[in-house]
Amino acid sequence: MDSAELAGKIVYTWLTLVLGFILLPSAFGLSLGISELYMKILVKTLEWATLRIEKGVSKESVLKSSASVGIIQRDESPMEKGLSGLRGRDFELSDVFYFSKKGLEAIVEDEVTQRFSSEELVSWNLLTRTNVNFQYISPKLTMVWVLGVIVRYCVLLPLRVTLAFIGISFLVIGTTLVGQLPESSLRNRLSELVHLTCCRICVRALSGTIHYHNKQYRPQKGGICVANHTSPIDVLILTTDGCYAMVGQVHGGLMGIIQRAMVKACPHVWFERSEMKDRHLVTKRLREHIADKKKLPILIFPEGTCINNTSVMMFKKGSFEIGGTIYPVAIKYNPQFGDAFWNSSKYNMVSYLLRMMTSWAIVCDVWYMPPVTREEGEDAVQFANRVKSAIAIQGGLTELPWDGGLKRAKVKDTFKEEQQKNYSKMIVGNGSLNSELD
């Protein structure tokens, strides 16, 4: 037997095992119990590792690390209180110290840029990337870590790459073929089948374990589903339990190939955020879409960018001013098994997927929430903030007022001007300037 024939038999056996034990069950939404067994072993291993780490780390280092979590203690009092608490006062040179203090606080530990880095873990999960300060603790723990590296890179990674390649290939080919059919109910059913099947395969490629809550509130046709955004796989997580017409920004590379294929079979809406004409077109298409109660619910991530699984940032008002019923969904990942956050300014899509595929697993909870509509007298911004607050509370996330666009853009001049106006009102109020005018 020559080497080519041996390699062929190995590939054939490998694909047969993948097809029979993973691919077909995942395509039909079934499980043979392999994933459940893997998760049980993983949970027990991480619990054991946590106990070993707690025994190996001295109490002094624990106290030191816990004390260093908060770099500074912020004074959240308003400007009026910080500047002697009086309105209508003369300018004092000491006011400079107040603004200098606030500026240094923002530089040292602002609450925006923290949301665009990986979430901190309470205990190490045996992934080197999640603990840069890892030190030798015990021979047993080191052996388990080495064994974990071998399992993740030599067993799980090839398996996951195979599944991901099959899932993405089926998605691109399937949506392209379905897109050639004339518009009909058959085409819509086939499109939904392709999306559901391929997304389930891709989730299995990440060893995904998803817990859905309150399924009676699942988004219905003709509605708008809005969710917090941590990762591009948010789409996979939701689509394994139902199909959506998606709205999002145009991407390049691998993501762009997938987007262009998907839009052929389903009325997804992709747009360039920088083009104003696209915004008006998107709004028009969304209104037309929700007017037809037979069309799939629209899936929108109003934050506009990925946040690191700890917070919910400002929701853009566009999704909330077109009318229709809003179906809020909260998504929360368990960082103990793998970091799902995509830092798009640091990693491209392929690098990000490789990091995901070399993690232990992707575990998350999805909460469907009761549908809401815009109340009388409520503007789009208030409606968006109400939905954002509900999602943050349900997912156990921190609610922040900041625009996620600050990930790449500078603070708007209007924010600076607002602080300048507040200070000028204090000076002008009943102070010396008013006396001079009299």
Whether residue 329 contacts residue 227, with contact meaning beta carbons closer than 8 Å, is answered with: yes
Q: 423 and 331 share a domain?
A: no
Query: DSSP 3-state helix, strand, coil percentages of the chain (rounded to 5)?
Result: 55, 10, 35
Let me know if residue 7 belongs to a domain. Answer: no
Instruction: Identify which of 100-104, 130-134, 266-270, 311-315 has the greatest average pLDDT.
Output: 311-315
Residue type, 320: F
Sheet with 362-368, edge to edge strand ranges: 208-213, 362-368, 326-333, 224-227, 298-300, 245-249, 269-271
Q: Which residue has the higher pLDDT, 95 or 291?
A: 291
pLDDT category at 429 given cuts 50, 70, 90 is: low
* Distance separating alpha carbons of residues 209 and 228, to the nearest angstrom: 19
Say what the pLDDT of residue 431 is. Answer: 45
Q: 217 and 353 share a domain?
A: yes
Q: 230 and 290 share a domain?
A: yes
Say what the pLDDT of residue 388 is. Answer: 94
Half-sphere exposure of 188 (CA within 13 A, CB side): 11
Torsion angle, alpha carbons of 328, 329, 330, 332, to 10? -160
Q: 348 and 423 share a domain?
A: no
Residue type, 77: S
Q: 222 and 350 share a domain?
A: yes
SS3 assignment, position 132: coil
Q: 348 and 383 share a domain?
A: yes
* Distance separating alpha carbons of residues 352 and 346, to the nearest angstrom: 9
Let me know if residue 268 belongs to a domain. Answer: yes
Half-sphere exposure of 83 (CA within 13 A, CB side): 25
Q: Which helix (H) or strand (E) holds 38?
A: helix 34-56
Let me know if residue 419 belongs to a domain. Answer: yes
> How far separated are the first and last CA of the chain, in Å rounded?
105
- Nearest CA to 321 out of 253, 259, 378, 394 is that of 378
Q: 216 and 315 share a domain?
A: yes
Q: 351 and 426 share a domain?
A: no
What average pLDDT is seen over the chain?
78
Q: In terms of residue numbers, what domain contains 315?
A: 209-407
Q: 422 and 367 share a domain?
A: no
Q: Which residues pair with 260 in a beta bridge?
A: none
Let me know if residue 420 belongs to a domain. Answer: yes
Whether residue 116 contacts residue 343, with contact meaning beta carbons closer than 8 Å, is answered with: yes
Percent of the chain's residues with pLDDT above 70? 70
Say what the pLDDT of residue 350 is. Answer: 83
β-pairing, 362-368 with 326-333? antiparallel
pLDDT in tens, 295-351: 889 999 998 888 888 889 889 888 888 888 899 999 999 988 888 888 877 888 888
Say what the pLDDT of residue 262 is. Answer: 83
Mean pLDDT, range 416-431, rounded to an integer: 65
Q: Which residue has the higher pLDDT, 102 or 244?
A: 244
Number of domains in the chain: 2
Q: Could you tell me the pTM of the whole model?
A: 0.77
Say what the pLDDT of residue 66 is. Answer: 39
Show the CA angle centred on residue 26, arms to residues 25 and 29, nearest 5°: 90
Q: 347 and 430 share a domain?
A: no
Q: 323 and 427 share a domain?
A: no
- Token pair recorded at residue 52: 């070993």
**33 pLDDT exceeds 90?**
no
Q: Which helix (H) or strand (E) holds 298?
A: strand 298-300
Name the H helices within 270-400: 276-291, 349-357, 380-395
Say what the pLDDT of residue 437 is. Answer: 39
pLDDT in tens, 91-127: 666 666 666 666 666 655 566 667 777 777 777 788 8
Half-sphere exposure of 427 (CA within 13 A, CB side): 12
CA distances to 26, 237, 358 from 206, in Å: 12, 11, 9
Residue type, 151: V
Q: 314 and 403 share a domain?
A: yes
Q: Which residue has the higher pLDDT, 57 or 257?
A: 257
pLDDT in tens, 46-98: 888 888 777 765 544 444 443 334 444 455 555 555 555 544 456 666 666 66
Of 1-15, 152-166, 280-294, where does mean pLDDT reach its minimum? 1-15
Let me know if residue 328 belongs to a domain. Answer: yes
